[in-house]
Amino acid sequence: MGAISTSGPSPIDDGPGEPTAIQAVPLRHYGQWVAAAIVLILVVLFVYGAATNPAYGWSTYGKYLFDSRILVGAGYTLLLTVLAMVIAVILGVLLAIMRLSPNVVLRSVSWVYLWIFRGTPVYVQLVFWGLFPSIYKRIDLGIPFVVQFAHLNMQDLYSAFLFAMIGLALNESAYMAEIVRAGVSSVGEGQTEASIALGMSWSQTMRRTVLPQAMRVIIPPTGNEVISMLKTTSLVVAVPFTGELFGVQADISGVNFQPIPLLMVASTWYLAVTSVLMVGQFYLERYYSRGASRQLTGRQLKAMAAAQNKVLAVDEESDERR
């Protein structure tokens, strides 16, 4: 924003010669400077107070930040996040297709699944998965009431990591189903009709026409769900599985009785991994949003300017020849 100065000669001159240039005086935003100064002072005071507060235990924080147990816990957290999200995405796509299916039975089953897993807290679900071997001590595989081909002893097969992964994946799949369904529904019916008119099958239409356009809607909330899943892994202590990041720091703080610096360590690693995921989400969104925005990149603007200069040069040559 700028203000036009009215002092001096008029910018429009009726007489001979060049018109006087407009003198633009930029506006001074004093409010922004005051707000920035206040925020900076508050940040400095907070940092100074935290640095000088012995309750934070910065020496303990530095000691355990790269501790091998913390690193292993961060690795388990990432593994849980990746495996649970992969299963959730696959199952979520199937549930979304069932929701969009004309089959009443498939739609009803999908709706009931979403109703149960979205209507109950994930912590409660994880507690049930931890109690699963106690509820079902043995699972018989075969024809009900006739013959059983195999017997699974859940007490022997129990694995806290496995049940934690299943619990997280089944809960997340309910949310991914709605995200995928919203993305597919956002694509106009004309796109599908045009693809069918060109002779594409239903699978080709979904793969080449619908899904590439739906990804623009699916990717942003899916990225948020991945970040949310990373933090939700801290709840798997309900299974109980204590090998992930939050469980490891809880075990260590239970021994040295310094929970605050250990929580700071866990928070630092959560922030670091989340930052990496946010960068990946940014590039994925930019990749799938190509052509959806009118905003041009710097490279495109340079190319347009170069093309315009060539056109002007050709016009000048034509005028000279005339």
In this predicted model, what pLDDT tens digit does every residue of 163-196 receive, in sequence order? 999 999 999 999 999 999 888 888 877 877 888 8
302 has a pLDDT exceeding 70: yes
Residue 224 CA to residue 30 CA, distance in Å, equals 37
Residue 288 CA to residue 302 CA, distance in Å, equals 23
DSSP string across 7-52: -SS-S---SSSPPPPP-EEEPP-HHHHHHHHHHHHHHHHHHHHHHH
Least confident of 85-94, 221-230, 285-294: 285-294
Average pLDDT over residues 291-311: 68
Calculate the alpha carbon distances from 78 to 35, 97, 226, 269 in Å.
Answer: 39, 29, 10, 11
Greater confidence (213 vs 92) lies with 92
Q: Select, from the ranges 220-224, 269-273, 307-311, the one with the highest average predicted confidence (pLDDT).
A: 269-273
Q: What is the pLDDT of residue 85?
A: 94
Q: What is the pLDDT of residue 6?
A: 47
Q: What is the pLDDT of residue 84?
A: 94
Q: Where residue 300 falls among pLDDT bands split at 50, 70, 90?
A: low
Average pLDDT over residues 260-270: 93
Count Cβ atoms below 10 Å from residue 193 Cβ, excluding itself: 11
Structure tokens at 225: 């769900």
Greater confidence (40 vs 303) lies with 40
Average pLDDT over residues 32-54: 91
**Which of 280, 105, 96 minimizes the C-alpha distance to 187?**
96
Q: What is the pLDDT of residue 298?
A: 66
CB 261 within 8 A of CB 64: yes
* CATH number, domain 79-243: 1.10.3720.10
Average pLDDT over residues 50-60: 88
Hey, is 205 helix, strand or coil? helix
8 has a pLDDT exceeding 80: no
Asked if the bond preceding 240 is cis, omega within 30° of 0, the reply is yes
Residue 131 CA to residue 129 CA, distance in Å, equals 5
150 has a pLDDT exceeding 80: no
Q: Which residue has the tokens 């594409």?
A: 200
Where do the structural domains in the chain lie, given as residue ranges? 79-243
Q: What is the pLDDT of residue 171?
A: 95
140 has a pLDDT exceeding 80: no
Average pLDDT over residues 4-29: 59
Q: Where residue 5 falls among pLDDT bands split at 50, 70, 90?
A: very low
Q: Where residue 206 falls among pLDDT bands split at 50, 70, 90?
A: confident
Share of the chain above pLDDT 70, in %: 83
Hey, is 137 helix, strand or coil? coil
- Model confidence, pTM: 0.74
Q: Where residue 75 falls among pLDDT bands split at 50, 70, 90?
A: very high
Residue 258 CA to residue 253 CA, distance in Å, equals 5
Q: What is the pLDDT of residue 18?
A: 61
9 has a pLDDT exceeding 70: no
Residue 172 CA to residue 151 CA, distance in Å, equals 29
**Which of 227, 296, 240, 209 minimizes the C-alpha distance to 128?**
240
Helices (H), the chain: 30-52, 58-64, 68-100, 104-119, 122-130, 132-135, 154-157, 160-185, 189-197, 202-205, 211-232, 245-256, 259-288, 298-321
Q: Where residue 126 falls among pLDDT bands split at 50, 70, 90?
A: very high
Cα Rg, the chain, nearest whole Å = 30
β-strand pairing of 138-143 with 24-26: unpaired
Q: What is the pLDDT of residue 295?
A: 62
Calculate the alpha carbon distances from 117 to 60, 113, 134 in Å.
Answer: 40, 6, 21
Q: What is the pLDDT of residue 271?
A: 94
Determine whether 88 is exposed, middle or buried from the number of CB atoms within 10 Å of its CB (0-12, 13-18, 19+). buried
Residue 153 CA to residue 105 CA, distance in Å, equals 32
Q: What is the pLDDT of residue 4?
A: 47
